[in-house]
Structure formats: C-alpha cells, structure tokens
Amino acid sequence: MTSFRDNLFEGKTAFVAGGTSGINLGIAKRFAQLGAKVAVAGRDPDKAQRAAAEIGHDAIGLSGDVRDYDAIRGVMETVAGKLGAMDFVISGAAGNFLAPVLGMSANAFRTVVDIDLNGTFNVFRGCHDLLSRPGASLIAITAGQAVNASALQAHACAAKAGINQLIRVLALEWGPDVRINGISPGPIADTEGMKRLAPDAATREAHYARIAMKRWGRIEEVAESAVFLCSPAAAYITGTILDCDGGSQIGDASRGDPARGMA
Ligand code: NAP
Ligand code: COA
C-alpha cells in the first residue's frame, strides 16, 4: 500500500546504492511500484541479482563497493547507459557493529566511516554529471546517531554526523538544479541494522518504551518518506533531514509514562 498515486515516477530513473537488502531494498521496491526504472547495487553480485528479481519491473542489480570511487562511478555509468539519466539517487550503503572505542582498531573505525561517509561522498560526487538536471533528487540515509551520541557507536556516530553536514553542503552547492536531503530512520523492524544493535528481546522491549510511537518502524514507512522527498510535493525542500523515527529523537517517552509514576 502506498499513499501516492499510481505511476507517480513513470519515466524516471532511480539508483539505490546499498539497495540489495533491508530499508534500501524497500525504497527500491516502492520506486519501482510507482513506475520508476530502478537499479540497485551492493558488494555481493548474487545478492544484487536476487534483489533485482525481488523488485521485478525489469530492475537491474549490479555489484560495486561504495568505498571504491572508480567502482561505484562505473556502476552509475552503467545505470545511466542502460536506464537513462538518473532522476533519483539514494545513498544507503552502511556497515555497523557494536564496539567500544577501546575494542575497535583503527581499521574498524575507518571501515565504517569509509562505507557510510566516504561512500556517500563517492556516490553523490560520482553521479552529478549522470543526473537528469534540473529536477534531480538525492537522498542519503543517515541515522539518529548523527545527532545523539551513542556508546559503542563511535564509528557510526562520526560517519552519520558527517553525512548530515555533507547533505547540507551539497544542497548549497548544487541548488537549484539538484535537491539533496536525508532520511533518518528510527529503529526499523526486520533489518540487519536492528539485529546488530538490539540482538535480544529484553533490549528490544526496553527500546519500545522509550519511543513516542511505542513501536519500531516498518521498512515501508521509510520508503514512503523517500517517495515524498522525490515527489513534486517536496519541490522546495532541500538540505533537510527527515526523521522517520516515531519520535525516537525527541526524547525518552518512557519518562512520561504514568505507569512509571513519572508523568
Ligand atoms: P542492510 O540490510 O545491511 O543494508 C546494507 C546494504 O548496503 C546492503 O545492500 C549491502 O549489500 C550494502 N553495502 C554494505 N557495504 C557496502 C559497500 N561497502 N559498498 C556497497 N554496498 C554496501 O542494512 P539496513 O539495516 O537495512 O540499513 C540500511 C540503511 O539504513 C543504512 O544506511 C543504515 O545506517 C540506515 N539505518 C538503519 C536503521 C535500522 O533500523 N536498520 C536505523 C537507522 C538508519 P552488500 O552486503 O552486498 O554489500
Ligand atoms: N567489533 C570490533 N571490530 C570489528 C567488529 C566488531 N564486532 N566487526 C568487524 N570489526 C573490525 C575487523 O576486526 C577489522 O579490523 P582489523 O582489520 O583491525 O581486525 C575491521 O573491523 C574491518 O572488518 P572487515 O570484516 O575486514 O570489514 P568488511 O569490509 O569485510 O565488512 C563490516 C564491513 C565490518 C562493517 C561488516 O560488518 C559488513 O559488511 N556490514 C554490512 C552490513 C551491516 O553492517 N548492516 C547494518 C547497517 S546499519
């Protein structure tokens, strides 16, 4: 189900870096359902092929590492060559694991920053002359760690904070031809990210109570935010970060729970 009209993205081309699983795959599926020609990429070529088959609508699955500028540039040249100039580019590739700074080697820190932040730079820097301009819309998938410090997440906090500023700088430099925005998902059910960050039931239960909406989000809900940001309804929106997070970032909702006597 979508809130947007059929064929909203007819004639448009969308590329999703890191679109071979999870939230980003959900975005790719929704864009294809709305008529866009879609390509996705990840490191694993077989996973990319499976994702393309799952998306349907003649989607293309390619393999490339966002840490390697030439590789991801080559992927996007292929996409533009096969599907036409890109109207929408989503940069969502990421890596994460829980580790304290003292349990993290320099390479561990660098690896996450390289995938998330440098990868987003590479995708956006590399796509500019392949975009359909004016009117292109770029989205980076960021996270609440960009704003709220989180123990065991030094790498992701630093990387996502960098992404938020990159979004703003690009909006300044590439407006009015190209809009650049971010989506900051809250905890989203059935994703690799939350398997890693909240691996057990007790952690998950404690988590729900702190969220204003008292639940985790759904992949489809993040996809709807991406559709909105690429739709004509968002024509005057650039350089913003859209929190699609059930109120996760506004504070700890469990502190206002009358059942806890703290209302
Ligand atoms: P996921 O399923 O693990 O998706 C990660 C995607 O990125 C996969 O397609 C993966 O494919 C690809 N990828 C990883 N490293 C790559 C690299 N070096 N080069 C190219 N592709 C690479 O993750 P998810 O949990 O859905 O998260 C998706 C995005 O949402 C991430 O940006 C994450 O930070 C953000 N986010 C997630 C949550 C959540 O609740 N899950 C919350 C806030 C923000 P390969 O492994 O084949 O490369
Ligand atoms: N704790 C501490 N260090 C860790 C770690 C952990 N749980 N997992 C990996 N590392 C370290 C490795 O030991 C290595 O450092 P070293 O060379 O000093 O030993 C470094 O991180 C790189 O690991 P490597 O496995 O070589 O990286 P990779 O490029 O093959 O994979 C990861 C990248 C580590 C981010 C991997 O988890 C991944 O591919 N993630 C993608 C999926 C994902 O994270 N999804 C959620 C998105 S929110």
Q: Indicate whether 262 pLDDT > 50.
A: no
Residue 60 Cα to ligand 2 midpoint, Å, equals: 27
Is 124 inside any structural domain?
yes
Q: Indicate whether 216 pLDDT > 90.
A: yes
Q: Indicate whether 87 pLDDT > 90.
A: yes
Nearest residue (CA) to ligand 1, atom 6: 18
Residue-level pLDDT at 257: 64
Torsion sign across C-alpha atoms 178, 184, 190, 196: positive
CB-neighbour burial class of residue 126 (10 A; exposed 0-12, middle 13-18, buried 19+) = buried
Nearest residue (CA) to ligand 1, atom 12: 18
Residue-level pLDDT at 263: 40
Task: For strands 136-141 and 178-185, give the pairing.
Answer: parallel
Residue 191 Cα to ligand 1 midpoint, Å, equals: 9
Torsion sign across C-alpha atoms 181, 116, 223, 206: negative
Is 6 inside any structural domain?
no
Average pLDDT estimate for 107-117:
99
Q: Determine contact, residues 224/164, Cβ cutoff 8 Å.
A: no
Residue-level pLDDT at 242: 98
H-only helix segments in the chain: 22-33, 45-55, 69-83, 106-113, 119-127, 154-174, 192-197, 201-210, 219-230
Give me the chain's average pLDDT, please. 96
Binned at pLDDT 50, 70 and 90, residue 228 comes out as very high
Is 143 inside any structural domain?
yes
Sheet holding 13-17, edge to edge: 60-63, 37-42, 13-17, 88-91, 136-141, 178-185, 241-244
Q: Indicate whether 128 pLDDT > 60.
A: yes
Q: What angle do CA 244, 249, 254 make, to 5 degrees?
A: 115
Ligand nearest to the CA of 184: 1
Q: Indicate whether 92 pLDDT > 50.
A: yes
Cα gap 220→44, rounded to integer Å: 24
Residue-level pLDDT at 7: 98
Q: List, for residues 157-214, the tens digit of each pLDDT value.
A: 999 999 999 999 999 999 999 999 999 999 999 999 999 999 898 888 888 999 999 9
Residue 22 Cα to ligand 2 midpoint, Å, equals: 18
Q: How far is CA 160 from CA 18, 172, 255, 263, in A?
A: 15, 19, 27, 33
Q: List, for residues 20-63, the tens digit of each pLDDT value.
A: 999 999 999 999 999 999 999 999 999 999 999 999 999 999 99
Neighbouring residues of 91: CB distance < 8 A, sequence distance ≥ 6: 17, 18, 66, 119, 120, 123, 124, 138, 139, 140, 141
Ligand 2 mutation pick, 44, 96, 97, 110, max ligand atoms within 8 A of CB: 97
Nearest residue (CA) to ligand 2, atom 4: 108
Residue 124 Cα to ligand 2 midpoint, Å, equals: 23
CB-neighbour burial class of residue 15 (10 A; exposed 0-12, middle 13-18, buried 19+) = buried
Is 24 inside any structural domain?
yes
Is 167 inside any structural domain?
yes
Is 122 inside any structural domain?
yes
Pocket, ligand 2, Cβ cutoff 6 A? 94-97, 99, 103-105, 107-108, 111-112, 192-193, 196
Q: Ligand 2 atom closest to Cα of 191?
A: 46
Q: In the chain, pLDDT over 70 holds for what percent of residues? A: 97
Ligand nearest to the CA of 65: 1
Q: How far is CA 202 from CA 80, 105, 189, 253, in A?
A: 46, 29, 15, 17
Is 195 inside any structural domain?
no
Full domain range(s) for residue 80: 13-190+218-244
Ligand 1 mutation pick, 15, 23, 124, max ligand atoms within 8 A of CB: 23
Least confident of 33-37, 116-120, 203-207, 225-229: 203-207
Ligand nearest to the CA of 50: 1
Is 146 inside any structural domain?
yes
Q: Which CATH number does the domain housing residue 158 bear? A: 3.40.50.720
- Provide the total of helices (H) and of strands (E) in the chain, helices listed first: 9, 7
Average pLDDT estimate for 125-147:
98
Average pLDDT estimate for 58-82:
99
* Count of structural domains within the chain: 1
Tokens (6 digits) for 107: 């390479």
One DSSP character per residue, 154-192 reads: HHHHHHHHHHHHHHHHHHHHHTTTEEEEEEEE--BTT-H
